[in-house]
Amino acid sequence: MKKLVEEVCQFREERDWEQYHSPKNLVMALMVECAELAEHFQWLTQEESRNLPAEKKEAVREEIGDVLVYLVNLSERLGIDLLEAAWEKIGKNRRKYPADKTRGKAKKYNEYE
C-alpha cells in the first residue's frame, strides 16, 4: 500500500495536479469512477453480474483500479491511513452485525432484534 500511495503522489506531482486535487474534487472524481463501475452492471441480471464475459470483466477491472487510485489519492490528501481505516471499519461492522444475529439476513443493523 505504501508503494501505491507513493506512486499516486509521484504521478500527481509530476503533472503539477495537486492544485486540482482538493478533497472536494477528489470525492467527485471518485464518485464518477464509481458510476463508471456501476454502469457495467446496469441492467444485468444477478446471474449475468456473476458471470461477466472476459471483455466486460477487463473493463470492470480497470474501473476498480480507477476507484482505488482516487480513494488512495483522497485518503492521502486528508492524511488518513486507508488500510487502518478499513481495518477499523471491519472491526466496527463485526460488533454492529454479530454473526449469530445476522447470519443469512440482509437487514440494517437497527432492524435486528
| Interacting residue ranges for Mg ion, rule: CB under 5 A | 33, 36, 63, 66
Task: For residue 70, give the nearest of 40, 14, 10, 28 by alpha carbon.
Answer: 28
For the bound state, the minimum distance from the C-beta of residue 62 to Mg ion, rounded and expressed in Å, comes to 6
E-strand stretches of 15-96: none
For the bound state, the minimum distance from the C-beta of residue 40 to Mg ion, rounded and expressed in Å, comes to 10
CB nearer to Mg ion: give 64 or 96.
64
CB nearer to Mg ion: give 56 or 97.
56
Q: Left (φ > 0), alpha (ψ -120 to 50) or beta: where does 42 sit?
A: beta
For the bound state, the minimum distance from the C-beta of residue 108 to Mg ion, rounded and expressed in Å, comes to 30
Residue 70: burial class (beta carbons within 10 Å; 0-12, 13-18, 19+): buried
CB nearer to Mg ion: give 58 or 84.
58
For the bound state, the minimum distance from the C-beta of residue 36 to Mg ion, rounded and expressed in Å, comes to 4
Q: Left (φ > 0), alpha (ψ -120 to 50) or beta: where does 104 sit?
A: left
CB nearer to Mg ion: give 32 or 85.
32
